[in-house]
Amino acid sequence: MFFFFNDTATTEIYTLSLHDALPIYGMQQEPAIGIIGGSGLYEMEGFAQTEERLVDTPFGSPSDALIGGTLGGRPVWFLPRHGRGHRILPHEINHRANIWALRSLGVRWILCVTAVGSLKEEYAPRSIVIPDQFFDRTSRREHHTFFGGGIAAHISFGEPTSAPLRRVLLESSLEEELLEVHFGGIYVNMDGPAFSTRAESEVNRKLGFDVIGMTNLPEAKLAREAEIALATLCMVTDYDCWKGEEVNIEVVIGHLQANASVAQRILGRAVNKIPALPEWPEHRALDAAIITPQDFWPAEKITALGPILTRFVDTSALEDGK
């Protein structure tokens, strides 16, 4: 996802180590909303920035410092998935660290903003797609789960995005004048960083996929494991290459910049429509997912997954090193 804004941080940056994080996610937190998109996305009307936080995770470093504050009275954390300055390629993104960091800060809903190519004539550049399905063409799936290493879990993923959160994005999008919005669709996730070949693009069209991108499916999988509801606002930037025109960064950036303020307005309205308490099915996704009996859970894995397993383990024991 590309958003090009001036990054003018005015608040102090704090570093949060894994050890420091233990008491934070062990305490009662006000449920927060996460927004994953481009750097500068947080520069929206009504957002009161209070801090930047560098979070150390068991899976390495997130893409960048997380930017925290309030929007409409709700706690919100922004994360630029490619880092400020867009310096991280899609296959280099540490999705596990990103989602772990957000969950450790109390995030229970994630709104994603991402650029996509269109595989259908009717999904024109500068239109919006709110997908309800994914197709996985990635190659590093071992990095798209928190589990393993002694705790086996298999999440239900037939409906990979949150239906009520998609509805929130739809309602917020329809308040925009002259904006073309497509509700539902299949997002096929490729690795990148190269754009599709024409043969690949034609096959994806024949298979019935609607849009193509490089980042959102791992975010959705990991958010579900972290019991976070997630939905995505896809910004169509091009027709991939099936229409005979090559995709280039100049075109992609031009369409994204044109829609940047639209995305900010939609997100601002969406935050105010999200309920105060995390009571959707996604917020209990692990109830029927973990197969390993708790007596067999390795202590080091419990510690590593502390923010994710708070409903199942006594986090005060983690703080005491027990």
CATH of domain 13-319: 3.40.50.1580
* Res. 55: pLDDT tops 60: yes
Catalytic residue among 238, 295, 314, 320: 238
240 has catalytic annotation: yes
Instruction: Answer for the pair 188, 211: CB distance below 8 angstroms, yes or no.
Output: yes
By three-state DSSP, how is residue 264 classified?
helix
- The average pLDDT across 71-86 equals 95
Residue 42's pLDDT is: 79
* Res. 198: pLDDT tops 80: yes
What residues form DSSP beta bridges with 128? Answer: 181, 235
Instruction: Answer for the pair 53, 105: CB distance below 8 angstroms, yes or no.
Output: yes
Catalytic residue among 56, 64, 210, 240: 240
- The average pLDDT across 94-118 equals 97
* Res. 9: pLDDT tops 50: no
What residues have CB less than 8 Å from 26, skipping those under 6 apart?
A: 306, 310, 315, 316, 318, 319
* Res. 23: pLDDT tops 70: no
* Residue 316: band (very low, low, confident or very high) from pLDDT cuts 50, 70, 90: low
Higher pLDDT, 239 or 245: 239
* Res. 262: pLDDT tops 80: yes
* Residue 11: band (very low, low, confident or very high) from pLDDT cuts 50, 70, 90: very low
Question: Model pTM greater than 0.85?
Answer: yes
Alpha helix (H) ranges present in 137-248? 163-173, 198-206, 216-225
20 has catalytic annotation: no
What residues have CB less than 8 Å from 302, skipping those under 6 apart?
A: 309, 313, 318
Distance (Å, whole) CA 255 – CA 248: 11
By three-state DSSP, how is residue 318 classified?
helix
